[in-house]
Chains A and B, each alone.
Chain A
Amino acid sequence: MDVNLIFKIAAIGIVVAVLNRVLNQSGREEMAMMTTLAGVVVVLMMIINLISNLFDSVRTMFHL
């Protein structure tokens, strides 16, 4: 859980946005959609651990 993760997610967001634009511009719209989805999946995989920890701590706080 460091600040670098946020920078990584931001950089992936920028790259996916530019990729989306380039692919839409040259007509391959279905490939643009696929890369957007891939970007979302990659980011999700990066933070899935943290989300799981978050839910655990919420659960323990609730039951207390």
Chain B
Amino acid sequence: MLLKGIGGLLVISASGILGILHSNKLSLRYKELVNLRRVMQMLETEVTYGATPLPVALYSVSKKTEGPVSRFLANVSEHLSKRSFYTLKEAWNDSAERLLMESSLIKADIEFIKSFGNILGCSDREDQKKHFQLFYIQLRHQEDSAMEEVKRSAEMYRSLGFLLGMAVFVVLA
């Protein structure tokens, strides 16, 4: 009887924690998108006003921020300094594949970031500024959709976790 109770408690708490983790992943995605905007704004300042070369700019921005995006920029900067890749695009894409997969960003977000690497460092300061503005507008769309998904599904995943745990416990015991 006691064993049944302990087992049930374990099942319900495991399933509940799974639900909470899933719910947190959604809200974490939104926070990381906001962080991405901040990091990109710092990068824009470095590139368009400071005219610093890309490896230095990326490195200094990554020093001033934290999070998966910051580590991503530090990685790109390192690749550029060591000349491990031929172009910025390749270094950018490689770092994006490896480092951003660990974060809570979804595939669409990562593809979006990778597409930005195509135009970074390829034109003059005014053009870069325009590309940055376009990036912000598209990023706003992603942020809005992430916020909407959080509002819609976060509470649901939490309740779902606990309820499914209880259902399994009741059926099996």
Contact = CB atoms under 8 A, between A and B. Distances in A.
Q: How large is the interface on A (under 10, 10 to 19, 20 to 34, 35 or more residues)?
A: 10 to 19
B160 A11 contact: no
Contacts of A47: none
Contact of A15 (B152, B153, B155, B170): B170
Contacts of B171: 8, 12, 42, 46
A26 B163 CA distance: 15
Contacts of A40: none
Interface residues of B, number: 12
A15 B159 contact: no
Contacts of A15: 163, 166-167, 170
A11 B171 CA distance: 9
B155 A26 contact: yes
Nearest to A16: B167
Interface of B: 152-153, 155-156, 159-160, 163-164, 166-167, 170-171
Given A11-B170, A46-B171, 9 more contacts: A8-B171, A11-B166, A12-B167, A19-B163, A22-B156, A23-B160, A26-B152, A26-B153, A27-B152
7 contacts: A11-B166, A15-B166, A16-B167, A18-B163, A22-B163, A23-B160, A26-B155
